[in-house]
Amino acid sequence: MRWLISAVCSFVLGSGVLLASAQLAKAADRELQGTWTATKAERDGRAASDLVGHRLLFSGDRFEIQSKDRKSLYSGTVQVDANAKPAVIDFRHAEGALNGKTWKGIYVLDGETLTICDNAENLDAARPSKFEAKSGSGYVLVTFDRARP
């Protein structure tokens, strides 16, 4: 009988933790929604000024990256895990040369600033564990500000 009570209590408490985790993840998804503009970028240990001005759009589980002149460059689905430390973001491409391929990254959201570090330069590289894009790493580090309507 004690075993049954213990199992039921563990299940109820575990379900509460899982529900809270799911609610936190959904809140993170909502916070990312909208349009972000790249303000600073680094690739392979150097400034990547060609990325500054690009726009990252999140709508539901979809993403799109647009050039400065709003031409679509990449699109697909996005998946985040805000509970991971650091938070995880994956961009699964649905078109073009990258169709079916995934950029694996990490992110941090600080108010109206979003920082993403991913393996876009080298899809064979592991997911980054730090917010840095050192020479030879295959990582891209981009800081975005939330775009104003």
User: pLDDT tens for residues 54-73?
Assistant: 999 999 999 999 999 999 99
> Residue written as tokens 């994956």?
90
pLDDT, residue 67, reads 97
What is this structure's pTM? 0.81
Instruction: Report pLDDT digits (tens) over 20-56.
Output: 333 434 555 789 999 999 999 999 999 999 999 999 9
Instruction: Report pLDDT digits (tens) over 84-102.
Output: 999 999 999 999 889 999 9
pLDDT, residue 21, reads 33
Question: What is the chain's mean pLDDT, rounded?
Answer: 86
**Is pLDDT of 5 > 60?**
no
Cβ count within 10 A of residue 46: 10
pLDDT, residue 28, reads 53
Structure-derived torsion over alpha carbons of residues 16, 107, 93, 96, reported in degrees to the nearest 10? 170
Q: Pick 12 or 48 by higher pLDDT.
A: 48
In this prediction, residues 120-146 reach a mean pLDDT of 96
| Domain count of the fold of the chain | 1
Strands 140-146, 34-43: parallel, antiparallel or unpaired by DSSP? antiparallel
pLDDT, residue 143, reads 98
CB of 36 closer than 8 Å to CB of 149? no
**Is pLDDT of 8 > 50?**
no
Domain of residue 30: give its range.
2-146
The CATH number assigned to the domain holding 138 equals 2.40.128
